[in-house]
Amino acid sequence: MPQPLISLENVSFSYSQNKNWALNNISLCVEQGELIAVMGENGSGKSTLCKLLNGIIPHSQQGTLRGTVIVDGIVTADSSVAELAGRVGMVLEDPDSQLFTARVRDEIAFGLENLLMPPDEIKKRLAWALETTGLLSYMDAPPASLSGGQKQRLAIAAALAMATKALVLDEPTAQLDPAGSRDILSLIKKIRQDSGLTVIMATHASEEAAQFADRICVLKNGTLAACDTPQRVFSNRELLRDNWIRPPQVSELAYCLAEQGESLPAFPIQHDEAKAAVLEWYANGK
């Protein structure tokens, strides 16, 4: 069997300023090419999980770590930040906090220069990352002048240029308008189709998780309450209620109908599924 790209074995972490476990005994395997959405209410541990995957924890964040996090064959706690940077890209919720150079092109080249990559290779990767993320015409602009969505795309471009196998995004669309969110998600979809990138994405956006995720992991007070297909997660009303997760709107419709004693032939989580279910329901005389 192929090794999972990411595996967490009985992982717990507590921040040094906080004696509670932010994550408590998490075990999880992520296969290469999977897209995992991480959901759960505020404080449930989503950002902590993201930070464990690229080594911010334990390398830059003080605390107590138990268990093992393995990414692409290396144990994060025993590896250098530089080793990890070539394996896992990270896009923070607030991209301003990770953009620090004067020009868009420098932001992308920075990590590559740190790896002492030959200038020709840097040029090639820079051009590809700018092209893929639609930022070619902004390459000499200061990152601060970009819109929220463009800044997210720049953070993604910087990770892509490093040719990481995994990309971790902490609530990438939380601060974006619907058009900006759609751009980011179609970009992630396109990159995955092209390169088989593995993506871990913390999100509150149920519609996005329903549309894009292979699995949804639900965190509750630092424990893994569920990790299953979007279909099974969104049709588990108790799980959703328990974790303050709003189902996709089309699933809400199915729940409303169920309260009236009516049930659709299949439980929908996406628009086309709802359309098909409603049409079949009508065809059967409803």
Q: Which two tokens stand for residue 257?
A: 């109908």
Chosen residue from 24, 36, 46, 72 binding ligand ADP by CB under 6 A: 46
Chosen residue from 1, 2, 42, 137 binding ligand ADP by CB under 6 A: 42
Strand partners, 236: none
Q: Which stretch binds ligand ADP (CB under 6 A): 13-21, 103-111, 179-187, 238-246?
A: 13-21
**Residue 177 CA to chain centroid, in angstroms?**
18
DSSP-derived 3-state class of residue 207:
helix
Beta strands in 59-176 (DSSP E): 63-71, 74-75, 88-91, 166-170
CA dist 280 and 284 (Å) reads: 6
CB 224 within 8 A of CB 216: no
Task: Tell me how far, at minimum, the Cβ of 170 lies from Mg ion, in Å.
Answer: 6
Q: Which stretch binds ligand ADP (CB under 6 A): 11-19, 101-109, 132-140, 191-199?
A: 11-19
Q: Which residue of the chain is nearest Mg ion when measured via CB?
A: 47
CA dist 49 and 58 (Å) reads: 11
Site residues (CB under 5 A) for Mg ion, limited to 21-50: 46-47
Q: Which stretch binds ligand ADP (CB under 6 A): 46-54, 99-107, 113-121, 239-247?
A: 46-54
Q: 149 is in the binding site of which of Mg ion, ligand ADP, none (Cβ under 5 to 8 A by kind)?
A: none
260 near ligand ADP, rule: CB under 6 A: no
36 vs 278, beta carbon nearer ligand ADP: 36
CA dist 238 and 12 (Å) reads: 26
Task: Tell me how far, at minimum, the Cβ of 206 lies from ligand ADP, in Å.
Answer: 15
**Residue 3 CA to chain centroid, in angstroms?**
21
Q: Which of 172, 204, 212, 207 is nearest to 40 (CA)?
A: 204
Chosen residue from 5, 30, 44, 146 binding ligand ADP by CB under 6 A: 44
Chosen residue from 8, 11, 30, 45 binding ligand ADP by CB under 6 A: 45
Half-sphere exposure in the Cβ direction for 190 (13 Å, CA): 14
Q: 45 is in the binding site of which of ligand ADP, Mg ion, none (Cβ under 5 to 8 A by kind)?
A: ligand ADP
22 near ligand ADP, rule: CB under 6 A: yes
Chosen residue from 1, 2, 17, 261 binding ligand ADP by CB under 6 A: 17
Query: Could you say which DSSP state residue 67 is in?
Result: E
The residues of the shown chain that bind ligand ADP, judged by CB under 6 A, are: 15, 17-18, 22, 40, 42-48
